[in-house]
Chain A
């Protein structure tokens, strides 16, 4: 117990330093700390693997410690008395918020360990087994292509520190990741709604979001499930909700650092993450209200990391298999595509064409799905029927929240429009055809039951869907004023 709480405290400290160094202040600093604490191990560990360095706890700890020390030195020098900005040493540290977040993390870690709250499946065993090979340095001598492609490395890295206490998984890892998701969702609503309407309204919407998350059975299950779904859901929430908050000019651009860390952790956590990230990043890159530097550097950083990781995967296939994996090559192409997005973000025209780009992307996915339905013998239909049974029939445990969200968001999408919510809206609506196409790509239909991969993957977007719906209900449609009218007003005529 003591060791587990120490591990949680160390990761939180690292998260707090990174969050502070990113320029985040107040409650945002604490939320950033929670996110970074939950994603730092996967976001850093993959690089050691690619560089053929040992990933055991000593190396990991030394590199993480060095990174934190460098960040501390940099921030204290920057804020030292006499520095150009004139700030006092330690100024800007949100002691109260950080202490509250750290206390909640430790209480949650203590509770889940004491009550043995964790969920597992055969997949969980595979993940923590790989984590054990990382901890004892046998990973480079045992990993093979199919296993790397199926299980990637994010979840094993997340649990690797458990080897310190002679165990195979960290009880606190997934619940704290889920806590970070809740923190991001409530933070986004509180920041934007609180600023647009009133602080009380911001708090009320945040409370509704927490309740909606807590009563959704499969989200609660995922909060304890040893798998990568919570990490991917966190990455999607940090990027999509964070982009909305940035578009509403309600947070510091330092949030981009948190986006990059969570985005990289997402890349190395599930095999389909890279295509999911493509639909998450497309509306961000094209969103005019988001600062240009963020639109360029977030996809550029994630893209470079993704290219390095997918290249390593291709190299493993080349070295230890007789044939090359098409999925590995497609994933590498998708990673290059993300870097291309960053380059396109530098052009002035991409924001002007956002509506058309997003429409083309989404309708393109639906068109591909229609073609797949015609060309395959019932695979799309079988996937659709199983998904209906899992969601509406509750065989997968998602009824009634998921069908209700589908109906309410569809209605809100038609009746309420708010430009800045596009980063959330696009990922929620494009997710459906994307996942149906992935079933076609793998050549196997989704199945009835809670263990079905799409049934588990709904977790990736449901938190964002809840924030999107509450945001639209609270803020309503955006009042759009034509540029010509603005010019008229400005000229005083």
Chain B
């Protein structure tokens, strides 16, 4: 009797779950629904296209992966072994080949960079209200650099996060 009653309860719960499945799904956006299909497998493009916050967060990494895959990234950390989310994003979604932490300060590294006159410049906006530029030197396959222009707010964050990344500045003949 006890088991029969409880079994009826379980069957009722299953039936009620079937009846409410669609209604439950309907209260969530597509990507939180149980069975809705996505438009594309390019999850990074989906993210940056659907959310301004995610565009800020990932557009630079996405662009770096598109225009300069296989780059060597030099992160100035002033010798402090500082690692931040920006570095992981640029290395991962930026499809870097290797990452090197330099003991140079940001300003010292900045001094070593010169922008070629015929450089191809890609621009966009990154997190913390800062814009970015990827400046590609057309003379070399990987002779390119990424430059995040300090924004009007939080200029000091340039030091905390990796605000200047030298992408294989010395050039790569490969």
Bound-complex Cα distance A212 to B81 (A)? 51
**Contact check: which of B40, B81, B98 meets A138 at CB < 8 Å?**
B98
B31 touches A168 (CB 8 A): no
A212 touches B14 (CB 8 A): yes
- The chain B residue sitting closest to A415, CB to CB, is B2
A136 touches B95 (CB 8 A): yes
- Is B128 interfacial (CB 8 A cutoff)? no
- The chain A residue sitting closest to B3, CB to CB, is A473
Min CB–CB distance B83 → chain A (angstroms): 4
B6 touches A397 (CB 8 A): no
Min CB–CB distance A465 → chain B (angstroms): 11
B2 touches A416 (CB 8 A): yes
- Chain A interface, >50% SS class: helix
A221 touches B32 (CB 8 A): yes
- Is A280 interfacial (CB 8 A cutoff)? no
Bound-complex Cα distance A115 to B44 (A)? 18
- Tally A residues with Cβ within 8 Å of B: 62
Enumerate A372-413 residues with CB–CB distance to B below 8 Å.
394, 397, 399-401, 404-405, 407-408, 411-412
A416 touches B32 (CB 8 A): no
A217 touches B81 (CB 8 A): no
Enumerate B79-112 residues with CB–CB distance to A below 8 Å.
81, 83-85, 87-89, 91-93, 95-101
Chain B residues with CB under 8 Å of A218's CB are 34
Q: What bracket does the count of chain B residues touching chain A fall in?
A: 35 or more
Chain B residues with CB under 8 Å of A215's CB are 14, 17-18, 21
B9 touches A136 (CB 8 A): no
Known contacts A125-B58, A171-B41; is-contact A400 B93 (Cβ 8 Å):
no
Chain B residues with CB under 8 Å of A113's CB are 41
Chain B residues with CB under 8 Å of A169's CB are 43
- The chain A residue sitting closest to B86, CB to CB, is A142
- Mask, A445-480, CB within 8 Å of B = 1, is 000001100000000000000000110110010000
Chain B residues with CB under 8 Å of A450's CB are 28, 32
Stretch at the interface among A11-19, A116-124, A338-346, A420-428: A116-124
Min CB–CB distance A43 → chain B (angstroms): 22
B41 touches A167 (CB 8 A): yes
Bound-complex Cα distance A473 to B39 (A)? 43
Bound-complex Cα distance A18 to B12 (A)? 40
- Is B174 interfacial (CB 8 A cutoff)? no
- The chain B residue sitting closest to A166, CB to CB, is B95
Bound-complex Cα distance A125 to B46 (A)? 11
Min CB–CB distance A61 → chain B (angstroms): 19
Bound-complex Cα distance A183 to B138 (A)? 55
Stretch at the interface among A87-95, A126-134, A266-274, A350-358: A126-134
Chain B residues with CB under 8 Å of A138's CB are 73, 91-92, 96-99
Chain A residues with CB under 8 Å of B3's CB are 416, 472-473, 476
- The chain A residue sitting closest to B91, CB to CB, is A138
A129 touches B37 (CB 8 A): no
Enumerate A214-265 residues with CB–CB distance to B below 8 Å.
215-218, 220-221, 224, 226
A116 touches B37 (CB 8 A): yes
Chain A residues with CB under 8 Å of B46's CB are 120
Known contacts A116-B39, A141-B100; is-contact A469 B10 (Cβ 8 Å):
yes
Known contacts A130-B92, A142-B83, A167-B41; is-contact A220 B35 (Cβ 8 Å):
yes
Chain B residues with CB under 8 Å of A416's CB are 2-3, 6
A147 touches B88 (CB 8 A): yes
Bound-complex Cα distance A128 to B89 (A)? 10
Chain A residues with CB under 8 Å of B40's CB are 116
Min CB–CB distance A181 → chain B (angstroms): 15
A399 touches B32 (CB 8 A): no
Q: Which of B3, B12, B87 has the most CB of A within 10 A?
A: B3
Bound-complex Cα distance A34 to B40 (A)? 28
- Is A320 interfacial (CB 8 A cutoff)? yes
- The chain B residue sitting closest to A474, CB to CB, is B3
Min CB–CB distance A266 → chain B (angstroms): 24
Bound-complex Cα distance A405 to B13 (A)? 8
Chain B residues with CB under 8 Å of A366's CB are none
- Mask, A144-155, CB within 8 Å of B = 1, is 100100000000
- Is A359 interfacial (CB 8 A cutoff)? no
B83 touches A320 (CB 8 A): yes
- Is A137 interfacial (CB 8 A cutoff)? yes
Enumerate B20-73 residues with CB–CB distance to A below 8 Å.
20-21, 24-25, 27-28, 31-35, 37-41, 43-44, 46-47, 54, 58, 61, 73
B18 touches A217 (CB 8 A): no
- Is B7 interfacial (CB 8 A cutoff)? yes
Min CB–CB distance B32 → chain A (angstroms): 5
**Contact check: which of A116, A144, A224, A408 meets B10 at CB < 8 Å?**
A408
**Contact check: which of A115, A120, A411 meets B6 at CB < 8 Å?**
A411
B24 touches A116 (CB 8 A): no
Chain B residues with CB under 8 Å of A224's CB are 34-35
A408 touches B88 (CB 8 A): no
With A215-B17, A472-B6, A476-B3 already in contact, 7 other A-B pairs whose C-beta atoms are closer than 8 Å: A129-B89, A132-B91, A138-B99, A141-B98, A216-B17, A408-B13, A416-B2
Lowest 5 A-B CB distances belong to which pairs? A404-B13, A132-B92, A144-B83, A138-B91, A220-B34
A-binding residues in B (CB < 8 A): 2-3, 6-7, 9-10, 12-14, 16-18, 20-21, 24-25, 27-28, 31-35, 37-41, 43-44, 46-47, 54, 58, 61, 73, 81, 83-85, 87-89, 91-93, 95-101
